[in-house]
Amino acid sequence: MLELVKAGGWPMMPLLLLSAFALAIIVERFWALRRRAVLPPGLGEEVRAWAARGALDPTHIASLRATAPLGALLAAALDVRDRPRDEIRERVEDVGRHVAFAMERHLNALGTIAAAGPLLGLFGTVVGMIQMFLGVMDHGIGDVDQLAGGIGKALVCAATGMIVAVPALMFHRHFRARIDGYIVAMEHEAILLMDAIDPRTARRPPSVAPGRG
């Protein structure tokens, strides 16, 4: 590995730094976006039971807000539970945007690494080719070692750029898809809670078409 780094020359240093940053982001997001951490099992049912019993004091709501992103979303609905349903929905949507933004933390950086990796690899390739042609100008085409060094630097940098970019892109897409799934699940839990807060939606009788006389 060290020999490959030496063969790639100094353009390998930013690529190695990018790979370290990408690995740190991937590990951190895997931990932060665990399903249990975002959507604790049974939390929605527990909150709906609170609403049914009327146990919605500020202490309960504050503790709910600190549990998980789902808890923050449900707490936002409970904060304005006495208002019309449209206003509750607006509050849930506003808080949901903040929750989604927090879950997408560092993903823009991971996407930037996925895009910058091949460019830095191409930059290393260009540097290697320039070095090769300068060697040809100084020593002629007969210096095989000089030619091999330039070609090697070009190939190593290009390969390293792709090695950095491909996993970063894959995990970036993976985390985006996971967050989208979480958002859909949280929206569903919020709708169920709004129905529990406003039981008129469950008791409303179906409309009957007037009969013809």
Report in angstroms the alpha-carbon separations of 60 from 39, 42, 113: 18, 16, 42
Q: Which two three-digit tokens encode residue 17?
A: 């730094």
| pLDDT value, residue 56 | 76
In angstroms, the CA 148 to CA 117 distance is 24
| pLDDT value, residue 34 | 93
In angstroms, the CA 154 to CA 132 distance is 9
| pLDDT value, residue 4 | 59
- CB neighbour list of residue 48: distance below 8 Å, 6 or more residues apart: 192, 193, 196
Asked whether the beta carbons of 38 and 103 are under 8 A apart, the reply is: yes
In angstroms, the CA 64 to CA 49 distance is 13
| pLDDT value, residue 209 | 45
| pLDDT value, residue 199 | 58
The type of residue at 129 is M
Helix H segments across the chain?
Answer: 2-8, 12-32, 35-38, 43-53, 58-65, 69-79, 85-103, 107-139, 144-197, 200-203
- CB neighbour list of residue 103: distance below 8 Å, 6 or more residues apart: 32, 33, 38, 69, 179, 182
Residue by residue, pLDDT tens for the chain (213 residues) are: 566 566 666 778 888 899 999 999 999 999 999 999 999 999 999 888 888 887 677 888 888 898 899 999 999 998 888 888 888 899 999 999 999 999 999 999 999 999 999 888 888 888 777 777 776 666 655 556 666 666 767 788 888 889 999 999 999 999 999 999 999 999 999 999 998 887 555 444 444 444 443
In angstroms, the CA 107 to CA 188 distance is 25
| pLDDT value, residue 207 | 45
